Amino acid sequence: MSTPTYGGSFAWINLICRFFRHDVDPLSRPPPLTGSVEARAMLAAMAADNLSDMLDIGPLPLLNDEGVASTVFHEQVHYWQLLSSPLLQSLFITALQKIRLVVAMNGGTALSICGEVDFDDRPDLVTPRLANANTLLRPQFTSGDVRWQVEIVEDPPTSVAAVSCRQWEGGPEWPRFCAALGFGSAERRLVWADLEQLTEGHALGSEDRRARRAPRRLLEDAPPIEDVYLGLWELWCRRHGHRATEAALGDAFLVAVDLAMLGGRPGPLLELNHRNHFPGERFARLMTVSADLDLPALDHDDDVVRYQDRLAEAAGLPGVDGVLQTARIRLLRMLTFSLAPMLHLEVEDRRRAVERLLGDHLSQTQEDDAAAIVEAAMSEDQQLPVGAQVLATMYNALRHRSDNRAHFALPARHAATLEAGFPLPLVLMGGAYYFTRPAKDVRQPLTAYPDMLRQEIIQLFALIPCIEGESECGFVKSGAQCQYTLQGLGCARSARRPLSDAAAELRKRTGVATWCHRARCDLWTGLMPKEERAYWLARSSLG
C-alpha cells in the first residue's frame, strides 16, 4: 500500500462541509453496491416520504492500516483546528451568514439558517468580510512593501521579513510574514506564514508525533508544495535547533503555531481590524520573541499552558483565556438569536434576549445560564436551523479548550480524548459516506447529536454555491458524487448532469421523483418552487 501523500485541497476551511472530502488513496473508488437498483430507489423514496435524506453511512474501512490512519488523523487535526480556533470559526460563520443572506434575497426563509444578530439584509457588511475570508484562504496580492527584514541565521542562510501587501493600488494593507531559506544555491526558497502554511504545518507535525516518526526537514530539491507543509517547521528548526532536543523543538513549534492560528478577540463575522487578528503578523511576533525565551521541555500540560501564555505576553497578544471566552459568547449569541423561534420569541424579543443574557463580560454562572437556554431550544422536537449543530460543537470544543488548554495545541498527545469528544463526523469519498467512529452522544455543555451533525454537513455542502449567489448544488459544482448519483438515481436538479432515460424512469416509477440532498435543502429553506413544495408536503405526514 502506498504511503499517504501530504497534498490535497484546503477548501474545507471556507465551509466546514468542504473539509470532509478526503482523498485517501485506497478508498478513492466507490465501494461495490449491495442490492438491486430498484431496492435502493425504494429506500430513497421512503426517505423522501419523510422529507429526510437517504444517508447510508458506514465505518471507514482500512483504518487498521497505518498509512490510511495517519492520513485520516491529519484531516482530523484540521477538524479540531476549525473547532477550537476563533479565527478559523470566523471563516465558517461568515460563509454561513452569506448563505442566510442569499436565501433571504431569493425569497427563502432566513430563519432556516443560523446567523448573527445585526447582519440580516446587510450585504454591505457581509460581503467585505467574506472577501477577508477568501484572502485568508487564497492570498493574492498585486504589491507589497517590506516593513522590516533581518538575517537570523548565517549557516544555512536564513532571513525573515514583514511585508505589507495590497490587493490593489491604494487598497488596505494586509500584514504578512515570510522567510527566505538558503540551501547553498544562489536562489533562496521563499516561505510565507499564511493560514494554509500554519494549519498544514500544525497538522503534519501532529501527524508525525502520533506516528512517532522523526519530522522531515525541507530539502533544496523538494517540490514547491513541500513549502506549505514543511516551510515554517524548517524556519523554526533553523532558528531554535541548537537550543533543544528535536522532541522539545517540535512541541514548542506546535504550541506557537496553535497560538498564531487562534486570532485575536473575535468580533461578529470575520473582522480583521487589528494586526493581532492576522495569522502571519501573529507568527512573526511569536518567532521574534521566542528567541528571547527559554525553550522548555513541554512534558506536562501545565508546561504547555505556561509556555503559550509567556509567548502571548511577550508578543503583546491578547491572553488566550480572554479570546476563548469572547469566542464562546459570540457562539452563544448566534445560537440564542437563531434558536429563539423555538422558544416562540419575536425578532425584537430575540434581540433583547441576546443583549440581556450575553454582555461583553460574563461570569461562568451567567455563561452557563445562557448555554442552558440554548440547550433547551436545541432539545425541542423541531427542525433546527442549518448550522446549529456545527455551532454547538464549536462551543463545546471551546469549553473543552478552556478547561484543557494543551489538548488542541498538542492533539497527538491527547488523541484518544479528542477523538471521543470530537470525532470526525463525516468522510465523503467516491459518493460513499463514512464515519471514523460510531455515533455516540457525548455529554457536553450543548448536546450536538452526531447523526444530526452529519445531516447538517450534507446540507451545508449542497448549499455552498449560495455563497456566490448560485442555485447549483454543491455536489454538482465541486464534481463530487452524492449518494443519489452513486445509487444509480442520477441528478434531477442540474443541467450539468442530465438524467439518463433509465434514471428518469426509475425515479418516476419508484416515487423518488426530484428528491435529493439539495431538494431537501430547498424545501427547508423555502427556495423550492411552490408547486414542487406543495407536492412534497402533500406526500409527507406534514401534509
Least confident of 3-7, 9-13, 260-264, 361-365: 3-7
For the segment 147-154, the average pLDDT, to the nearest whole number, is: 89
Over pLDDT 70: what percentage of the chain? 85
- List of residues 6+ apart from 347 with CB closer than 8 A: none
What pLDDT, on the 0 to 100 scale, is given for residue 443?
67
* Cβ pair 145, 163 in contact under 8 A: yes
Neighbours of 223 (CB within 10 A): 8
Given a cut of 70, is residue 352 above it in pLDDT? no
What pLDDT, on the 0 to 100 scale, is given for residue 194?
92
Given a cut of 90, is residue 227 above it in pLDDT? yes
What pLDDT, on the 0 to 100 scale, is given for residue 22?
39
* Cβ pair 43, 55 in contact under 8 A: no
What pLDDT, on the 0 to 100 scale, is given for residue 347?
59
What pLDDT, on the 0 to 100 scale, is given for residue 83?
93
> Which is nearest to 84 in space by CA: 422, 533, 538, 463?
422
Residue 427 host element (H or E): strand 427-429
For the segment 522-538, the average pLDDT, to the nearest whole number, is: 93
What pLDDT, on the 0 to 100 scale, is given for residue 498?
81
* Cβ pair 334, 116 in contact under 8 A: yes
> How far apart (Å, rounded) are the C-alpha atoms in residues 531 and 20?
34
For the segment 176-188, the average pLDDT, to the nearest whole number, is: 87
DSSP 263: -
For the segment 470-495, the average pLDDT, to the nearest whole number, is: 85
> How far apart (Å, rounded) are the C-alpha atoms in residues 177 and 280?
5
Given a cut of 80, is residue 68 above it in pLDDT? no
Given a cut of 60, is residue 479 above it in pLDDT? yes
Dihedral sign (CA 287, 293, 294, 300): negative
What pLDDT, on the 0 to 100 scale, is given for residue 274?
67
**Sheet with 427-429, edge to edge strand ranges:** 57-59, 432-435, 427-429
* Cβ pair 240, 249 in contact under 8 A: yes
Least confident of 27-36, 169-178, 447-456: 27-36
Residue 539 host element (H or E): helix 530-539
Where is mean pLDDT largest: 17-26, 136-145, 148-157, 347-356?
A: 148-157
* Cβ pair 135, 91 in contact under 8 A: no
For the segment 343-352, the average pLDDT, to the nearest whole number, is: 61
For the segment 342-371, the average pLDDT, to the nearest whole number, is: 67
Given a cut of 70, is residue 31 above it in pLDDT? no
> How far apart (Å, rounded) are the C-alpha atoms in residues 286 and 120?
37
What pLDDT, on the 0 to 100 scale, is given for residue 411?
97
Q: How confident is the model at residue 357 (pLDDT cuts 50, 70, 90)?
A: low
For the segment 76-89, the average pLDDT, to the nearest whole number, is: 92
Q: How confident is the model at residue 441 (pLDDT cuts 50, 70, 90)?
A: low
**Pairing assessment for the beta strands 427-429 and 189-192 based on DSSP bridges:** unpaired
- List of residues 6+ apart from 118 with CB closer than 8 A: 125, 268
What pLDDT, on the 0 to 100 scale, is given for residue 151?
92
Higher pLDDT, 481 or 24: 481
- H helix intervals, 50-85: 66-84
Least confident of 26-40, 284-298, 469-483: 26-40
Q: Which residue has the cell 473543552?
A: 400
Phi-psi region of 430 (alpha: psi -120 to 50; beta: other; left: phi over 0): left
Neighbours of 444 (CB within 10 A): 18
Mean pLDDT of the chain: 83
Cα distances (angstroms) measured from residue 382 to each of 68, 379, 484: 38, 8, 26
Which residues on neighbouring strands pair with residue 180, listed in sequence order? 159, 190
> How far apart (Å, rounded) are the C-alpha atoms in residues 102 and 14?
16
Per residue in 200-224, pLDDT tens? 999 999 999 999 988 899 999 899 9
How far is the first Cα of the chain from the last one, in angstroms, to the nearest whole number?
Answer: 52
Cα distances (angstroms) measured from residue 306 to each of 183, 296, 297, 313: 35, 10, 11, 11
Given a cut of 60, is residue 147 above it in pLDDT? yes
DSSP 3: P
Given a cut of 90, is residue 303 above it in pLDDT? yes
Burial of 360 (0-12, 13-18, 19+ CB in 10 A): exposed
Q: How confident is the model at residue 9 (pLDDT cuts 50, 70, 90)?
A: very low
What pLDDT, on the 0 to 100 scale, is given for residue 304?
96
pTM given for the model:
0.91
